[in-house]
Structure 1
Amino acid sequence: MALDQAQPIPVGPRHSVALDSAEALQLLGSVSFGRIVFTQHALPTIRPVNHVLDEGEIVIRTHEGAALTSRTRQAGSPGVVVAYEADTIDPATHLGWSVVVTGYAHLVTDPVLLTRYQSMLHPWVGQAMDFAVRIRPDLVTGIRLTPADT
């Protein structure tokens, strides 16, 4: 097996500029892909998922056998603590933004809301996704990576 001989493209220094929570949520809502972080067997687990932002909350769809479905089904109030991350960072320039939301995830049980989310959010995996999870953002942080000379 040959090793990848590609050399990284050198880039200049970057500034990390903090985003306020409103701008961070607006950026998160501008993309449809992110990563959810939760615990499974007392260890952190990360899954790539697609999402929508609905009334300030992140909504993802899951399936019957998903660990997150099981965890949120078992959770009482206030829900399961999760983190959600989304970003857009250019691979060549290393400029862009990253947003991390920490909050409580709840399984959506209202059939009207579930139907609504199924019409709004179309999974990109070839599997039935009959469940939805809402994440209430309690802590929203974000950064914008800019060239050092701006």
Structure 2
Amino acid sequence: MSRRVLEQMDVADCLELLGGVSLGRVVYTEKALPAIRPVNHVLDDGAVIIRSHLGGALATAVGSGRGTVVAYEADAIDPIEHVGWSVVVTGVAHLVADSREVARYERLLRPWVEIAMDCVIRIEPRLVTGYRLVEAAEVGTG
């Protein structure tokens, strides 16, 4: 097996890759401990948009009104070749309150599970980082 290295990506590349996939993981605080949930998303003008249900721990954490710091991670790593990428967006999450925006996101973002997803959450990025896991010979060739 060839050697692998991590190559840091710029923000534009990170957001392009993030916009090209639909599944990631949101990391938030539940009862003073980190919690992680897989969710589907859309990227809209640099913000990560996800849906949740009002009775859920994520909606409760974000629903305080003052914004909640969360992280969102998505990746595409080949389990055989051990190459791919990972992007992490750290930012402030808010419930989307405007009914027109909520309706628009409900059309754009269909839940993958059979649960009523009755709230929309916008994550405004404050820090975007990403890395490609590539074969060592590929570094600096593209």
Bigger radius of gyration: 1
| Alpha-carbon distance between aligned partners in 1 of 2:48 and 2:70, rounded to the nearest angstrom | 11
- Aligned residue number for residue 54 of structure 1: 44
Corresponding residue of 1:105: 93
2:25 maps to a residue whose letter is R
Q: Who is 1:128 aligned against?
A: 116
Deviation at 1:12, TM superposition (A): 2.5
Give the corresponding residue for 2:9: 19
Helix, strand or coil: the match of 1:136?
Answer: strand
Q: Deviations over 1:3-50 (max 9, x none)?
A: xxxxxxxx4320100000111011000000000000011100000000
Q: 2:60 corresponds to which residue?
A: 70
1:91 counterpart SS class: coil
Deviation at 1:75, TM superposition (A): 3.5
Equivalent position amino acid for 1:132 in 2:
V
Deviation at 1:111, TM superposition (A): 0.4
Aligned position for 2:29: 39
CA deviation profile, 1:53-95 (whole Å, cap 9, x unmatched)? 011100000012111111111141xx10000000000010110
Number of residue-to-residue matches in the alignment: 138
| Counterpart secondary structure, 1:84 | strand
For 1:75 and 1:102, the matched residues in 2 are separated by 18
Code of the residue aligned with 1:61 in structure 2: it is: R
TM-score (norm 1): 0.90
The percentage of counterpart residues that share the same residue type is 55
Partner of 2:104: 116
When normalised by structure 2's length, the TM-score is: 0.95
Q: Is residue 2:82 matched to residue 1:94?
A: yes
Q: Please give the alpha-carbon distance, in whole angstroms, between the structure 2 residues aligned to 1:13 and 1:46.
A: 31
Q: Name the residue aligned to 2:129.
A: 141
